[in-house]
Amino acid sequence: MMHIWMGMIGVVLTGAITTAGAQVGTTAADLEHQKAGEQKAVNLCSTCHGPRGISTSPEFPILAAQRRGYLESQLEAFRAKTREEKIAHDFMWGIAGDLDDHMIDSISRYYAAQPPAPGKPGDPTLIAKGRQLFEQGVPDRSIPACATCHGEDAAGVADFPRLAGQHARYVVKQIEYIQSLVRKAPVMHGIVKDMTPAEMQAVAAYVQSK
Amino acid sequence: MFGRLATGTFGVSALAILLTAGLADNANAVPSFARQTGQECIACHVSFPELTPYGRYFKLTGYTIGKTFITSEGFNYVPMAVMAQASVTNTKNNHATDSESGDTIAVNQRNNSAVFSGGSLFLATKVNDYVGGFIQWSYDNLATTADGTLGGHSGLDNTDLRAAGKYSSPGAAEPDLIYGLTLNNNPTVQDPWNSTPAFGFPYTSSPLAQTPAAATQIDGGLGQQVAGVGGYLWWKKMVYGELSFYRTADGAFSVLRAGQDTHTDGGVAAVQNWNNPYWRFALSHDWGPNSAMIGTYGMIVNRYPSNLDTSTATDRYRDIAVDAQYQYITDPHTFTAQATYIDERQSYNASYSAVQETGQGIGAGPTPENPTDTLKTFKLKGTYYYERKYGGTLAYFSTTGSADAGLYGTDAAGNARTPNSTGYIVELDYLPIQNVRLMFQYTGYNKFDGAKNNYDGNGRNASDNNTAFFNVWVAF
């Protein structure tokens, strides 16, 4: 259990440092980079991720109001081909392969600044079960509360991603990928490795409703 | 159409070398658009050639997503791809009676034999941020030669060259308008929905099987014989409109029908110069994992009865079609459906008038006996794929039209025949890797060229043409 908490602290500190270090000024070059990133988001990313990052298909994640550091790290992982689940391989390796550091930074800033997607209602019983898991975890099985890292409102903290409003189907798939080590996220793997399919469905329904 | 293979000559060995080169490439050894985008085939295709919403966006933005094949830093990828098919065809009753000699002949000259059907070489790439396209050169290993035997021929196949742009209003979250120009050689090849003929189901079929004789002009009647230029608009990814004009692919456009038999009467289509408008209007909407479209398309064709004599008047074909498409795309389940209905009115202003005035038709014919005829086609298909690997398709097709002894002959009682053919297709697909499709396709006929029984006057029934088709289709 200790290594999970140490890992979390490490990620938070890394995120904080990254966030502080990535502050940009408002030079002409910065503005040019930001404009290029916005154009890429509008003309290309929106095709799958929807206008302002609110996708309609649950196969593609909602990016609106996502944590900037998280977006950066994932785009870098796609570019480096270290995030390997099927849809990442089939779609994002090619897209991210063309992005330089400036573009990754500006696209991440664009989506982080967008208004969040509204929550979607669902089965109240399932959502209530998911809320309990999200807020309290399952102490008997050493599953910590999701809120610990993702925030009480599931809006994300530092580089821990926002989950609120995300497609439930996408959330479940990512937990499954992490549980089966297809997606390499050591900290999260330690947390979800014993999670049952019913628990995944419940917590996904809850965060989608937020 | 991938199945359309034109005439000419081409070295099989050259294709084999290219195919080998493609196979020897690394994991990115996929058709050149995939190399261009760095994405897998399934990003744009439900299963080739059927397009996903992203594939439609890629096509309508001029094939310009991704990298150009060459930059100041050198080559990024090979802007070419190869495709090949090998198959076995079984015709249910392979024996027919020749109407002239009375001899028993084989309907399918390679029945139950493994054959190399043919292949294609593609030049397909983004040229710059606004221009892209694809050019397909196909080799048909089973083309019918002048003496009725089978031989190898090649020629230009489907071609679509585009220039496209996007307009976004200030602060827009996605493009408000996508606009573009297309130059192509087959009406509907430029369309992004697979309910239209050029890329409609079946995506490939037996090169050896007997197939119904009648088809509308817009349903392959002009493919690789005409040149078309048009413009299109796609507003908010919801409203699509296109207007194009076609002409005979001769003169400066002759490359667009390279390999076609232009010297034989009836070898190719000849139409009036640019006076053949094609239109398309569609409404589309995506929600959740669903994508739907309803639309209409059509064409007016002013066609010379003989391609060797353009001094005559022309016959007029007016094709009006409605179509619809639905797609549900998730991982692992995918379901898609397409339907189209084409209504063609044929006005034989030249052919019929010539018979009335001179007692004979124009050119090789066949010459209609009616001043006007109708031809109506309906197609419907549904496809399910699991993990984009295991697929099944059910399809229904129907062609009906007015009886015309000049076009379709007469039956034993002397009555004019119709072009009526109806049937179904069952297809099973397995894609072990995304570039290889193993398929079994069964086509059954309830009516064939006008009748269920004895459609040829020599005792052959529609169901005798039922076809089992095993095919291996590779694209690298």
Q: pLDDT digit string (tens) for B54-112?
A: 999 999 999 999 999 998 888 989 999 999 999 999 999 999 998 888 899 999 999 99
**How many angstroms separate the first and last alpha carbons of chain A?**
28
Instruction: Select from B37, B54, B66 the Cβ nearest to the Cβ of A48.
Output: B54
- Is B134 in a helix, a strand, or coil? strand
Residue B56 lies in a domain: yes
Asked whether B154 and B138 are in contact (CB, 8 A), the reply is: yes
Residue B6 lies in a domain: no
Report which secondary-structure segment, H or E, holds A127: helix A124-136
Residue B2 lies in a domain: no
> By the CB < 8 Å criterion, does A87 face chain B?
yes
Instruction: Count the domains in chain A.
Output: 2
Q: Would you give the distance in Å from CA A59 to the centre of its chain?
A: 14
Most distant CA pair in chain B, distance:
75
Q: Which of B360, B437, B374, B409 is nearest to B203 (CA)?
A: B437
Rounded CA separation B48/B388 (Å): 10
Contact check, Cβ <8 Å, A58/B173: no
Listed residues A112, A132, A147: the one ending a domain? A112
* Angle in degrees, CA B127, B118, B143, rounded to 5: 115
Residue A89 lies in a domain: yes
Give the β-pairing of B80-91 and B114-126. antiparallel
pLDDT over 90 (residue B14):
no
Asked whether A192 and A178 are in contact (CB, 8 A), the reply is: yes
Residue B3 lies in a domain: no
Indicate whether A18 and A107 sit together in one domain: yes
Contact check, Cβ <8 Å, A93/B39: yes
Paired tokens of B79: 């802007």
Which residue do the tokens 């295991």 mark?
B390
Residue of B nearest to A88 (CA): B39
**CA dihedral for B5, B11, B13, B18, sign (positive or negative):** negative
**With contacts defined as CB-CB under 8 Å, which chain B residues touch A173?**
331
Cβ-Cβ pairs closer than 8 A, A with B, add up to 65
Rounded CA separation B417/B406 (Å): 9
Residue B203 neighbours by CB distance under 10 Å:
21
Count of all residues that appear for chain B in the document: 476
Q: Which domain holds residue A157?
A: 124-209
**C-alpha dihedral, B196 to B200 to B201 to B203, nearest 10°:** 170
Indicate whether A25 and A103 sit together in one domain: yes
Check which CATH number belongs to the domain holding A76 and give it: 1.10.760.10
> By the CB < 8 Å criterion, does A52 face chain B?
yes
Rounded CA separation B287/B33 (Å): 27
Instruction: Select from A52, A57, A94 the Cβ nearest to the Cβ of B38.
Output: A94
Listed residues A49, A79, A112: the one ending a domain? A112
Amino acid code (one letter) for B214: A
Q: What is the mean pLDDT of chain B?
A: 91
Asked whether A104 and A72 are in contact (CB, 8 A), the reply is: yes
Indicate whether A21 and A91 sit together in one domain: yes
Paired tokens of B232: 């299109």
Contact check, Cβ <8 Å, B168/A43: yes
Rounded CA separation A180/A85 (Å): 10
Indicate whether A31 and A93 sit together in one domain: yes
Highest mean pLDDT among B26-40, B144-158, B253-267: B253-267
Rounded CA separation A183/B306 (Å): 64
Phi and psi angles of residue A18, each rounded to the nearest 5 degrees, phi first? -60, -45
What is the reported pLDDT for A134? 97
Count of all residues that appear for chain A in the document: 210
Asked whether A56 and A170 are in contact (CB, 8 A), the reply is: no
Indicate whether A142 and A64 sit together in one domain: no
> By the CB < 8 Å criterion, does B287 face chain A?
yes
Question: What is the tens place of the pLDDT at every residue in B225-272?
Answer: 999 999 999 999 999 999 999 999 999 999 999 999 999 999 999 999
Question: What is the tens place of the pLDDT at every residue in B316-364?
Answer: 999 999 999 999 999 999 999 999 999 999 999 999 999 999 989 999 9
Predicted confidence band at B7 (pLDDT cuts at 50, 70, 90)?
Answer: very low
- Is B329 in a helix, a strand, or coil? strand
Residue A3 lies in a domain: no
Which residue do the tokens 């002959």 mark?
B409
Question: Lowest mean pLDDT: which of B4-8, B45-49, B331-335?
Answer: B4-8
Mutate which of B39, B41, B42, B236 to disrupt the A interface (most A C-beta within 10 Å)? B39
Indicate whether A35 and A106 sit together in one domain: yes
Indicate whether A29 and A93 sit together in one domain: yes
Indicate whether A81 and A40 sit together in one domain: yes
Paired tokens of B321: 């079609």
Residue A53 lies in a domain: yes
Instruction: Select from B39, B53, B287 the Cβ nearest to the Cβ of A90.
Output: B39
**With contacts defined as CB-CB under 8 Å, which chain B residues touch A50?**
174
The reply to whether omega before B202 is within 30° of 0 (cis) is: yes
Paired tokens of A202: 């419940």
Instruction: Select from B65, B175, B288 the Cβ nearest to the Cβ of A57.
Output: B288
> By the CB < 8 Å criterion, does B27 face chain A?
no
Helix extents (H) in B264-402: 351-358
Indicate whether A75 and A128 sit together in one domain: no
- Is A171 in a helix, a strand, or coil? helix
What is the reported pLDDT for A24? 52
Indicate whether A134 and A87 sit together in one domain: no
What is the reported pLDDT for B4? 39
Asked whether B447 and B401 are in contact (CB, 8 A), the reply is: no
Question: What is the tens place of the pLDDT at every residue in B267-296?
Answer: 999 999 999 999 999 999 999 999 999 999
What is the reported pLDDT for B144? 87
Contact check, Cβ <8 Å, B286/A57: yes
Residue B228 lies in a domain: yes
Would you give per-residue pLDDT tens digits along chain A (210 residues)? 444 444 444 444 444 434 433 445 578 888 999 999 999 999 999 999 999 999 999 999 999 999 999 999 999 999 999 999 999 999 999 999 989 999 999 999 999 999 999 999 999 999 999 999 999 999 999 899 999 999 999 999 999 999 999 999 999 999 999 999 999 999 999 999 999 999 999 999 999 999
Beta bridge partner(s), residue B57:
none
Residue B364 lies in a domain: yes
pTM of the model: 0.90
Instruction: Count the domains in chain B.
Output: 1
Mutate which of B28, B33, B40, B330 to disrupt the A interface (most A C-beta within 10 Å)? B40
Residues contacting A87, CB < 8 A, separation 6+:
A59, A60, B331
Residue B371 neighbours by CB distance under 10 Å:
14
Residues contacting A27, CB < 8 A, separation 6+:
none
**C-alpha dihedral, B297 to B399 to B442 to B411, nearest 10°:** -160
Indicate whether A99 and A164 sit together in one domain: no
Paired tokens of B316: 């007029």
Indicate whether A152 and A199 sit together in one domain: yes
Residue B288 lies in a domain: yes
Residue A5 lies in a domain: no
Produce one character per residue of A93-126: b if its CB has 16 or more CB atoms within 10 Å, e if not: bbbbbebeebbbbbbbbbbbebebbebeebeeeb
Instruction: Select from A51, A87, A97 the Cβ nearest to the Cβ of B331.
Output: A87
- Is B265 in a helix, a strand, or coil? coil
Rounded CA separation B50/B45 (Å): 5
Residue A2 lies in a domain: no
Asked whether B198 and B184 are in contact (CB, 8 A), the reply is: no
Give the β-pairing of B177-184 and B74-75. unpaired
> By the CB < 8 Å criterion, does B40 face chain A?
yes
Rounded average pLDDT over B111-127: 95
Residue B248 lies in a domain: yes
What is the reported pLDDT for A25? 59
Residue A180 lies in a domain: yes
Burial of B328 (0-12, 13-18, 19+ CB in 10 A): middle
Report which secondary-structure segment, H or E, holds A188: helix A186-192
Contact check, Cβ <8 Å, B38/A86: no
> What is the number of alpha carbons within 13 Å of residue A166 lying toward its C-beta?
28
Residue of B nearest to A90 (CA): B40
What is the reported pLDDT for A92? 96
Produce one character per residue of A151-184: b if its CB has 16 or more CB atoms within 10 Å, e if not: beebbbbbbbbbbbbbbbbbbbbbbbbbbeeebe
Asked whether B159 and B134 are in contact (CB, 8 A), the reply is: yes
What is the reported pLDDT for B148? 83
Rounded average pLDDT over B381-393: 97
From residue B62, alpha-carbon distances to B124, B357, B379 in Å are: 11, 50, 28
- Is A34 in a helix, a strand, or coil? helix
Q: Which of A208, A206, A42 is nearest to A117 (CA)?
A: A208
Check which CATH number belongs to the domain holding B438 and give it: 2.40.160
